[in-house]
Amino acid sequence: MMGEKSVRRLAAAGAVLGLLLMLAGALLIKLSSLSALPDHALLRGVLAGRKVILILGAALTGASVYAGNIAVQGRRRLSGFFPYLLILPAMIFLVLFVLYPILNVIYMSFFKGSVLNPTKSFVGLKNYMALANKSAFIISVRNTFFYAVFFVSLVVLFALLMAVWLFDDRKLNKFAQTAIFTPHLIATVSCAFIWRWIMDFNDYGLLNTVLGIFGVAPVPWLESSKTAMWAIIIMNVWKNIGYYALILIAAMKSIPAEIYEAAILDNASRTKRFFRITLPMISPQLFVTLILLTIGSFNVFDSVNAMTQGGPGSSTEVIARFIYLFAFGNANSLGQGCAAAVFLMSIQLVLTAAYFRLLARRVHYQ
């Protein structure tokens, strides 16, 4: 009789193999619908067996899960296959709307095609090569990085400041916390339109009127390619400070008071307490905040689309808008849009990995 552990391991290996076979079968079925395929004896043979491969994979997965489940549940609760039934709807939705779309976007990025015929012809890496030479893409990447750098650093800076400033348990602080959080709940489009109105360049524009009181000359916020991206950054920073400040306040609340009391007994100054106690103690949350903000900043779309539509000129074009315009806009540029989407996903992955490598060891876990 085999031990429970070895059965589980065997079943896991079988399930992985089965899933891979299913994936291969599905890919072959997709490929077989392509018109221009190289005529090769081996390829023809594999293609002929595509359904067999798919069914074999499904059978192997099913059998492995069956065996594995009996091994797992052996001596514990005998719920049989009831839990699979419970998670089935969720899994179907996640596969259909998350997992499959990711894989498919990678797949489509190797083809030239349009919305009507996404995989018209296989072009290998040509879509990626084309992107590297496309000035519209380069500009959108540069703009997105510009936006991300300033958006992330300004939000982190101001959120930290606000968190320290509004930390104490006072009525005024509670009220201020509630107030600065408000923009986070409001639709980005709504905020974008409010700020468009506030930043209006005509004499009745509110922001320029207020700045005028302080003697600042009118700024052509959304009308000039020099300031348009800053206008978008200001709007988004304004919208997000409150949320991240509250996350950091929640983190600071969990720091034991004794640590501060000990530091005060040691005559540690306020700044010293902040840098030596507060900052290290909230570093896990700060770290996660930084990752979430960075990933999010590369997806910027709503605010740009509602405030400037990428203009003036192409001064506020960003990657997400490039994908949107190329995937559905031009004829036969769907593949390039997909390649840009894969590129976007890769940037986010690489940056997350970089944060982990560079910062994770500085994060202090209690």
Smaller CB separation from another protein, 32 or 73: 73
Beta-carbon count within 10 A of 204 CB: 9
Scan for tokens 């000359």, then name that residue: 217
Nearest CA to 327 among 124, 129, 131?
131
**How far apart, in whole angstroms, are the C-alpha atoms of residue 298 and residue 304?**
12
Residue 227: CB minimum distance to another protein, A: 18
Longest dimension (CA), the chain: 87
Rule CB under 8 A: which of 124-183 touch another protein? 162, 165-166, 172-173, 175-183
Name the minimum Å distance from CB 305 to another protein: 7
- According to the binding rule CB under 8 A, does residue 11 interact with another protein? yes
Place of tokens 């560079």: 358
Secondary structure (DSSP) of 289-300? HHHHHHHHHHT-
Identify residues 317-356 at the interface with another protein (CB under 8 A). Answer: 320, 323-324, 327-328, 334, 337-338, 341, 344-345, 348
- Tell me how far, at minimum, the Cβ of 362 lies from another protein, in Å: 16
Binding mask 195-234 for another protein (x = CB under 8 A): x-xx-x-xxx-x--x-------------------------
Please state the closest distance from residue 14 (CB atom) to another protein, in A: 11
Report the distance separating Cα 27 and Cα 245, nearest Å.
46
Of residues 36 and 213, the one with the C-beta less far from another protein: 213
Q: Which residues pair with 111 in a beta bridge?
A: 122
8 Å CB contact between 128 and 339:
yes
Q: 236 to 295, contacts with another protein by CB under 8 A?
A: 238, 241-243, 246-247, 250, 254, 284-285, 288, 295
Contact call for residues 32 and 47 (beta carbons, < 8 A): yes
What's the min distance (Å) between Cβ of 43 and another protein? Answer: 26
Complex with another protein: residue 28 or 208, whichever CB lies closer: 208
Take residue 132 and report the two structure tokens written for it. Answer: 């590297």
Considering only residues 285 through 314, tell me which ones interact with another protein, judged by CB under 8 A. Answer: 285, 288, 295-296, 299, 301-302, 305-306
Using the rule CB under 8 A, give the single segment among 25-33, 72-80, 123-131, 255-263 that binds another protein: 72-80
If the CB atoms of residues 259 and 288 are measured against another protein, the closer one turns out to be 288
| Residues between 24 and 63 with contacts to another protein, criterion CB under 8 A | none
Buried b (16+ CB within 10 A) or exposed e, 109-140: bbbbbeeeebbbebbeebbbebbeebeebebb
- Name which of 39 and 169 has its Cβ closer to another protein: 169
Give CA–CA dist 82/39, Å, rounded: 47
